[in-house]
Structure 1
């Protein structure tokens, strides 16, 4: 079994609710979406990675594992394209397993063993250059309900741009609220797009986005801290 791997590296988690924690990242190549704001465009094609076996990835993890690292984060690209590979790697470590996913492949996510935490991106229509499909959102909902039914710690991350319209954002949040089976347990992270300098003239909008989400969910607004620290 092989999968296209771009890199295996150690760093601090720069996004979401585990921000600042030391993690080992396994970055897969290949993605089933084409988001306009993607900050790892080099990972979109599966041809951009090197084919590796699960054991080879495990060996790379062993080389860089440090005492302060308690989590392996599978990221991409879209790691849910490779559920069996993730399970094979995960079974070799007594560490927390994190999946960073767009959530549009619920059947694949269901196949991954030993998941402890999932960071699931909710995609907005404006994240795409005209090729948004409502099925994306329906599958994200399906993935969320699936993970919550399994008592897996999952939170949503929503990337917003300075151009994001409050009304369209509100519509997505309302739909999310109506379709989540246990919304009291779901936390939402609003992530302003980088660079943060783009927000200097419109930062008041961040409060409005937070207020919209706060009507339905617990909400935090967290930028990409690894970009601020200038680390990977």
Structure 2
């Protein structure tokens, strides 16, 4: 069994609730979406990257493992394209397993064992250059409910762009509140798109977006810290 791997590296988690924690990132090639704000365009095509076995991936992980690192973050691209591969890697390591996913492949996500934490992106129509397909949102809800049912620690990350209107944003958050089976175990991370200097009145916008989510869910606002620190 092999999967296309763009890179394996050690760094601090720059997004979400584990921000600042040392992790080893395994970045897969291949994605089923093409978001306008994507900062890893080289990972969209499955033709990119190097084909590696689970054993080769674990060997690389062990070669760069440091005492302050306890988690493997599977990212991409879209890592849920490779559920069996992730399962094989997880069998060969005692490190915690994190999945960073767009959540649009619930059947695949349901096949992944031993997940400790999931960062699930909620996609907005403003993030796409073309037509936004409604099944993207519906599948994200399916994935979210599936993870809640399995009692897996999951949080939702929403990347907001300068063009995003507050009314459109609230409609999405309201839909999520109506559709998920247990909102008490889900928190939201609002992530303003980088670079931050593209925003006008960023602070005012962030307060507004936070207040919208706060009507329904626990919420934090966190930019991409790795971009600020100028690290990968």
When the two structures are superposed, what TM-score results if normalisation uses the length of structure 1? 0.99
Deviation at 1:202, TM superposition (A): 3.7
Q: Give the Å deviation of 1:114.
A: 0.4
Deviations 1:124-170 (A, max 9, x none): 01111123110000000000000011000000000001111101101
Q: Which runs of no fewer than 5 residues in structure 2 stay unpaired?
A: none
**Which aligned pairs between 1:155-166 and structure 2 lie closer than 5 A?**
155-166=155-166
Following superposition, the deviation at residue 94 of structure 1 comes to 1.0
Q: Distance in 1 between matches of 2:131 and 2:77?
A: 18
The answer to whether residue 8 in structure 2 is matched with residue 14 in structure 1 is no
Q: Which segment drifts farther, 199-208 or 13-22? A: 199-208
Aligned-residue RMSD, C-alpha = 0.7
Tell me how far apart the structure 2 counterparts of residues 184 and 25 of structure 1 sit (CA, whole Å).
29
Partner of 1:109: 109
In structure 1, how many angstroms separate the alpha carbons of the residues matched to 2:125 and 2:199?
A: 20
Q: In 1, Cα distance between the equivalents of 2:114 and 2:82?
A: 14
Deviations 1:71-114 (A, max 9, x none): 00000000000000001001111111000000000000010110
Question: Is the contact made by 2:189 and 2:221 (CA closer than 8 Å) also made in structure 1?
Answer: yes
SS at 2:62's partner residue?
A: helix
Measured in 1, the distance between the counterparts of 2:224 and 2:208 equals: 19
Question: What is the CA–CA distance in structure 2 between the aligned matches of 1:153 and 1:223, rounded to whole Å?
Answer: 21
Shift of 1:199: 2.3
Preserved contact between residue 141 and residue 180 of structure 2 (Cα < 8 Å): yes
Aligned length: 232
Q: Who is 2:4 aligned against?
A: 4
TM-score, normalization by structure 2: 0.99
Q: Which position in structure 2 is the counterpart of 1:90?
A: 90
What SS does structure 1 have at the residue aligned with 2:6?
strand
Q: What's the secondary structure of 1:46's corresponding residue?
A: coil
Match of 1:26 in 2: 26
Instruction: Name the structure 2 match of 1:139.
Output: 139
Q: Shift in Å at residue 226 of structure 1?
A: 0.1
Match of 1:64 in 2: 64
Match of 2:47 in 1: 47
2:186 maps to which residue? 186
Runs of 4+ in 1 over 6 A off after TM superposition: none
Partner secondary structure for residue 47 of structure 2: helix
CA distance in 2, matches of 1:46, 1:9: 19
Task: Tell me how far apart the structure 1 counterparts of residues 215 and 62 of structure 2 sit (CA, whole Å).
Answer: 44
Instruction: Report deviation, 1:200.
Output: 4.5
- Given that 2:31 and 2:45 are in contact with CA atoms closer than 8 Å, whether structure 1 keeps it comes out as yes
Q: Distance in 1 between matches of 2:138 and 2:183?
A: 16
> What are the Cα deviations for residues 179-214 of structure 1, in whole angstroms up to 9, with x where unaligned?
010001110000000011122534311100000000
Give the structure 2 partner of residue 125 of structure 1: 125
